[in-house]
Amino acid sequence: MDVLSQFWATYGSVVQFALINMLLAISIYFTLYTGLLSLANAGFMAIGAYVSAVLTIHAGTPFIVNLLGGACVAMFIGLLLGLPVLRLRDVYLAIATLGFGEIVRIIAINFDNFTGATLLGGAEGLDRVPKLTTPEGLIVTLLILIVLLIQLPRSRAGRAMAAIRRDENVAATMGINVFRYKVLAFVLGAFVAGLAGGFSAHLTRFVGPNAFGFDTAVNILAYAVLGGTQFWAGPLVGAALLTILPEALRFLNEYRGIVNGIILMVAIVYLPHGLVNPQWFQRFRRTEAA
Amino acid sequence: MLVLDRVSRSFGGLAAVSDVSFEVKAGQIMGLIGPNGAGKTTLLNLISGLDQPTRGSIHFNGQPIHDRPPHIINQLGIARTYQNIRLFAEMSVLDNVIVGLHTQGHAGLLSAVLLLPSYRSEERRLRALAQQLIARLDVQHFEQTPADALSYGDQRRVELARALATHPKLLLLDEPTAGMNATETARLGELILGLRAEGLSILVIEHDMAFIAQVCDEVIVLNFGQVIARGTPDQIKADQVVVEAYLGAAESVDA
What class, spelled out in words, does domain B11-78+224-255 have in CATH?
alpha beta
How do B14-24 and A113-114 pair as beta strands?
A: unpaired
Whether the CA torsion B111, A42, A224, A13 is positive or negative: it is negative
CB contact under 8 A, B71 and A162: no
As a whole number of angstroms, the distance between CA A225 and CA A239 comes to 10
Residue A170 has, within 13 A of its CA and on its CB side, a CA count of: 24
CB contact under 8 A, A169 and B50: yes
User: Percentage of residues in chain A with pLDDT exceeding 70?
Assistant: 93
Which pLDDT tens digit goes with each residue over A185-194?
Answer: 999 999 999 9
Q: Does B50 touch chain A (CB under 8 A)?
A: yes
Disruptive mutation site among A154, A155, A173 for chain B (greatest number of B CBs within 10 Å): A173
Q: Where are the domains of chain B?
A: 11-78+224-255, 87-168
SS3 call for A273: coil
CB contact under 8 A, B113 and A151: yes
Domain that includes residue A156, residue range = 14-289
Residues A209, A105: contact at Cβ < 8 Å? Answer: yes
Q: Residues A227-232: what's their mean pLDDT?
A: 88
Confidence at residue A290, expressed as pLDDT on a 0 to 100 scale: 47
Beta bridge mates, B220: B32, B230
Residues A157, A180: contact at Cβ < 8 Å? Answer: no
Environment class of residue A64 by beta-carbon count within 10 Å: exposed (0-12), middle (13-18) or buried (19+)?
A: exposed
User: Percentage of residues in chain B with pLDDT exceeding 90?
Assistant: 82
In the DSSP assignment, the letter for residue A113 is E
Nearest Cβ partner for A156 among B107, B113, B115: B107
Alpha carbon dihedral B198, B203, B209, B212, in 10-degree steps, equals 20
Residue type, B188: L
A3 domain-assigned: no
Confidence at residue A251, expressed as pLDDT on a 0 to 100 scale: 86
Confidence at residue A145, expressed as pLDDT on a 0 to 100 scale: 96
A145 domain-assigned: yes
Confidence at residue A123, expressed as pLDDT on a 0 to 100 scale: 75
End-to-end CA distance of chain B: 43
CB contact under 8 A, A151 and B107: no
From B237's Cα to the closest Cα of chain A, the distance in A is 33
SS3 call for A229: coil
Asked whether residue B140 carries a pLDDT value surpassing 80, the answer given is yes
A8 domain-assigned: no
Whole-model pTM: value is: 0.91
A175 domain-assigned: yes
Q: Does B115 touch chain A (CB under 8 A)?
A: yes
Residue type, A165: R
Q: Does A143 touch chain B (CB under 8 A)?
A: no
A2 domain-assigned: no
Q: Residues A73-87: what's their mean pLDDT?
A: 97
Return the minimum-mean-pLDDT range out of A8-22, A121-135, A181-195, B92-106.
A121-135
Q: Residues A272-280: what's their mean pLDDT?
A: 78
CB contact under 8 A, B99 and A163: yes
Disruptive mutation site among B46, B80, B87, B99 for chain A (greatest number of A CBs within 10 Å): B99
The topology (CATH level 3) of B87-168 is: Rossmann fold (3.40.50)
**Which 3-state string (H, E, C) describes chain B?**
CEEEEEEEEEECCEEEEEEEEEEECCCCEEEEECCCCCCHHHHHHHHHCCCCCCEEEEEECCEECCCCCHHHHHHHCEEECCCCCCCCCCCEHHHHHHHHCHHHCCCCHHHHHCCCHHHHHHHHHHHHHHHHHHHHCCCHHHCCCEHHHCCHHHHHHHHHHHHHHCCCCEEEEECCCCCCCHHHHHHHHHHHHHHHHCCCEEEEECCCHHHHHHHCCEEEEEECCEEEEEECHHHHHHCHHHHHHHHHHHHHHHC
CB atoms within 10 A of CB A212: 27
As a whole number of angstroms, the distance between CA A127 and CA B4 comes to 67
B11-78+224-255 shares its CATH topology with B87-168: yes
Confidence at residue B168, expressed as pLDDT on a 0 to 100 scale: 96
User: Percentage of residues in chain B with pLDDT exceeding 70?
Assistant: 96
A7 domain-assigned: no
Going by C-alpha positions, the residue among B190, B132, B187, B179 that lies closest to residue B155 is B179
Residue type, B135: A
Closest chain B CA to residue A164: B88
Q: Residues A95-120: what's their mean pLDDT?
A: 81
Q: Does B103 touch chain A (CB under 8 A)?
A: yes
Confidence at residue A284, expressed as pLDDT on a 0 to 100 scale: 60
Task: List, in order, residues 6 or more apart from B251 with CB less than 8 Å away.
Answer: none
Residues A23, A196: contact at Cβ < 8 Å? Answer: yes
Confidence at residue A113, expressed as pLDDT on a 0 to 100 scale: 61
Disruptive mutation site among B75, B93, B113 for chain A (greatest number of A CBs within 10 Å): B113
A5 domain-assigned: no
Asked whether residue B23 carries a pLDDT value surpassing 80, the answer given is yes
Number of domain units in chain A: 1
Q: Does A185 touch chain B (CB under 8 A)?
A: no
Summary mean pLDDT of chain A: 90
Contacts of A166 in chain B (CB under 8 A): 88-91
Confidence at residue A9, expressed as pLDDT on a 0 to 100 scale: 84
Going by C-alpha positions, the residue among A232, A149, A27, A148 that lies closest to residue B113 is A148
Confidence at residue A118, expressed as pLDDT on a 0 to 100 scale: 64
Interface list for B 193-252 with A (CB within 8 A): none
End-to-end CA distance of chain A: 44
DSSP states of A167-201: -HHHHHHTT--HHHHHHHHHHHHHHHHHHHHHHHH
User: Percentage of residues in chain A with pLDDT exceeding 90?
Assistant: 64
Residues B220, B30: contact at Cβ < 8 Å? Answer: yes
Closest chain B CA to residue A176: B71
A70 domain-assigned: yes
Confidence at residue B252, expressed as pLDDT on a 0 to 100 scale: 47
Confidence at residue A23, expressed as pLDDT on a 0 to 100 scale: 97
In the DSSP assignment, the letter for residue A39 is -
Asked whether residue B44 carries a pLDDT value surpassing 90, the answer given is yes
Residues B144, B93: contact at Cβ < 8 Å? Answer: yes
pLDDT band at residue A286, thresholds of 50, 70 and 90?
low
Between B107 and A125, the more confident residue is B107
Summary mean pLDDT of chain B: 92
Which pLDDT tens digit goes with each residue over B4-15?
Answer: 999 999 998 889
Which pLDDT tens digit goes with each residue over B150-166?
Answer: 998 999 999 999 999 99
Asked whether residue A117 carries a pLDDT value surpassing 90, the answer given is no
Residue type, A110: N
CB contact under 8 A, A172 and B49: yes
Nearest Cβ partner for A173 among B48, B109, B119: B48
Contacts of B123 in chain A (CB under 8 A): 154
Closest chain A CA to residue B100: A174
Contacts of B106 in chain A (CB under 8 A): 156
As a whole number of angstroms, the distance between CA B78 and CA B102 comes to 14
Rg of the Cα atoms in chain B: 19
Q: Does A173 touch chain B (CB under 8 A)?
A: yes
Between A190 and A249, the more confident residue is A190
Residue type, A45: M
Which pLDDT tens digit goes with each residue over B211-230?
Answer: 999 999 999 999 999 999 99
Contacts of A163 in chain B (CB under 8 A): 88, 91, 99
Asked whether residue A146 carries a pLDDT value surpassing 50, the answer given is yes
CATH number at residue A226: 1.10.3470
Confidence at residue A4, expressed as pLDDT on a 0 to 100 scale: 85
pLDDT band at residue B253, thresholds of 50, 70 and 90?
very low
CB contact under 8 A, B105 and A177: no
pLDDT band at residue A287, thresholds of 50, 70 and 90?
low
Q: Does A109 touch chain B (CB under 8 A)?
A: no
Between A287 and B197, the more confident residue is B197
Within chain A, strands assigned E span: 113-114, 117-118
From B83's Cα to the closest Cα of chain A, the distance in A is 12
ipTM rounded to 2 decimals = 0.91
pLDDT band at residue A1, thresholds of 50, 70 and 90?
low
Q: Residues A173-190: what's their mean pLDDT?
A: 97
CB contact under 8 A, A147 and B70: no
Q: Residues A98-109: what's their mean pLDDT?
A: 91
Going by C-alpha positions, the residue among B2, B145, B176, B148 that lies closest to residue B78 is B2
